Copies of this chain bind each other. A is one copy, B any other.
Amino acid sequence: MSDGGKARRDTLFVGALAKGLRVLRAFDESKSEMSLGELSQRTGMDKSAIQRLVNTLHHEGFLDKDPVTRRLRPSHAWLELAYCYYWSDPLVGAALPKLIDLSRQLGETINLAEISGDHIIYVSRLPCKRTYFAASIIGRRLPALSTSAGRAILSTWSQAEREAAIETWPLKAFTPRTTLDRDQIRRHIDETVANGFAMSRDQMLLNEVAIAAPIIGPDGRAFAGVQCSVSAYTWDDARVREEILPSLLDTANSISPSLRG
């Protein structure tokens, strides 16, 4: 139970490092500041281990320690890592300028999402309107099947891959109207295949309309998508199709050629 994930007795596996990383992973949106005890509880590791790991992480600048409460928080190093990530991902460099233009042109929130296993992750976000916090910061992972970007990406994959995803990938209710019926999702993805874009409502947030287009690679498959979020209060289907869709597709298509074959 406690160290259930220790896994491989492999000689190429450095357990101490893995444990340290697991301490980093213990932080999340609901728990972003912890005491030693809380960390110990969350990770299932004993107090001594946490003490040593935390000490090391702190010493190396990966955890900040509140001088009075002694509680631990993510440090600026966590942002520096994101900075490095951006330089390593060729898609970001190719897409960002175009996304900025699009965001400016539409005046609405534009996101760049990449597939990450069975989730999508928001790699770049350009918020234009106030929205809830989680929707304006990068690095958020969401079940791919529930997002317009995920469905747009999937729509470019083979029938078999799509089907496997639809059957097995995780779903979670974020709103009372999040689609949990896989048949319904299948139908929507089929439409997406035909249309070349995905549009969804109320999936992550009520009264949110999301529309996404895949960024298609040289092999015809997408692993990323451009997505736009708008409010259902001010946008109806027809207007989204007319005023957002064309530019969104243009942008996504204009990024495709920059992907190396």
Residues of A within 8 A of B (CB): 7-8, 10-14, 16-22, 24, 27-29, 32-33, 51-53, 55-57, 59-60, 62, 73-76, 78-89, 92-93, 96-97, 100-101, 104, 107, 114, 116, 121, 123, 126-130, 133, 136-141
Q: Is the CB of B73 within 8 A of A78?
A: no
Closest to A141 in B: B80
Q: Is the CB of B100 within 8 A of A24?
A: no
**CB-contact partner of A84 in B18, B28, B55, B101, under 8 A:** B28
Q: How many copies does the complex hold?
A: 2
User: Min CB distance, A18 to chain B, in Å?
Assistant: 5
How long is the Cα–Cα vector from A127 to B100 in the complex, in angstroms? 7
**CB-contact partner of A85 in B11, B21, B74, under 8 A:** B74
Q: Is the CB of A139 within 8 A of B82?
A: yes
Q: Is the CB of B123 within 8 A of A126?
A: no
Q: Is the CB of A84 within 8 A of B76?
A: no
User: Min CB distance, A227 to chain B, in Å?
Assistant: 16
Closest 6 CB pairs of A and B: A83-B139, A32-B88, A82-B82, A17-B20, A79-B139, A16-B16
User: Min CB distance, A214 to chain B, in Å?
Assistant: 18
User: Min CB distance, A96 to chain B, in Å?
Assistant: 6
| Residues on the B chain within 8 Å of A60, using CB | 17-18, 21-22
Of the candidates A29, A123, A139, the one having the most CB atoms from chain B within 10 angstroms of its own CB is A139
Q: Is the CB of A78 within 8 A of B81?
A: yes
Q: Is the CB of A12 within 8 A of B55?
A: yes
User: Min CB distance, A53 to chain B, in Å?
Assistant: 6
* Beyond A32-B84, A82-B139, 14 additional pairs, beta carbon < 8 A: A8-B59, A11-B52, A12-B55, A17-B17, A29-B83, A74-B85, A74-B89, A78-B81, A81-B139, A83-B141, A86-B133, A96-B127, A100-B128, A101-B130
